[in-house]
Amino acid sequence: MTPPFIAVANHSSHLDAPLVMGALPRRFARYLATGAAADYFFHKWWLKLFTTLFFNAFPVERSETSSRRGVASGLLKVRVPILLFPEGSRASGRQVTEFQPGAAALSINLRIPCVPVALVDADLAMPRGSRWPVRGRQPVTVVFGAPMHPRAGESAAAFAGRLKDTVRALFDSASQSHQQDDAWPDGLSA
């Protein structure tokens, strides 16, 4: 696959963007731009600077009224791949909540594929409300699905639902692998 593409991931931790960037091959991660909540990451100058420098972030408005519309489509038009979290906010625990239709609408309008990404246990590595990751190496899994295109005549809401279902299936599959990896071999106990 070649850029541009829209990586769409579930969102449970502030570690999600660096985890996806670190798991992608360098040729894709090098220019990946990350959509970050404008009201959270772009309201203080120092946080805006940090977020922009380290995550190549651009502001995403979570409200209906926006003065910054078009940043994501502008990046995609110049072949910059982007990472979006269509849930709109961090979900708690092992949930994958409803996807907002923005990423799907971009895909439909620009005829650019979406790459589903499941992040498993990132919330354990850096729980909501934490300022820093948990000490030690918490097992986190990043799973990429096959690129997805909208179907002929498919609405943004329907495509967003299909993307969410695919991310959820990747999440569930990786979660089962985690549970099997964590099991003690026969004859041993904790």
In a domain, 16, yes or no: yes
How many separate domains does the chain show? 1
**Structural domain boundaries enclosing 117:** 6-182
User: pTM for the full model?
Assistant: 0.81
10-residue stretch averages of pLDDT, the chain, 190 residues long: 88 83 89 78 66 72 59 91 85 79 94 94 68 72 94 96 95 73 40
In a domain, 14, yes or no: yes
In a domain, 144, yes or no: yes
Concatenated DSSP letters of 104-148: HHHHHHHT--EEEEEEESHHHHS-TT-SSPPSS----EEEE---B
In a domain, 1, yes or no: no
In a domain, 117, yes or no: yes
In a domain, 187, yes or no: no
Q: Where are the beta strands (DSSP E) in the chain?
A: 6-9, 33-37, 57-60, 82-84, 114-120, 141-144
In a domain, 189, yes or no: no
In a domain, 132, yes or no: yes
Predicted local confidence at residue 189, as pLDDT: 30
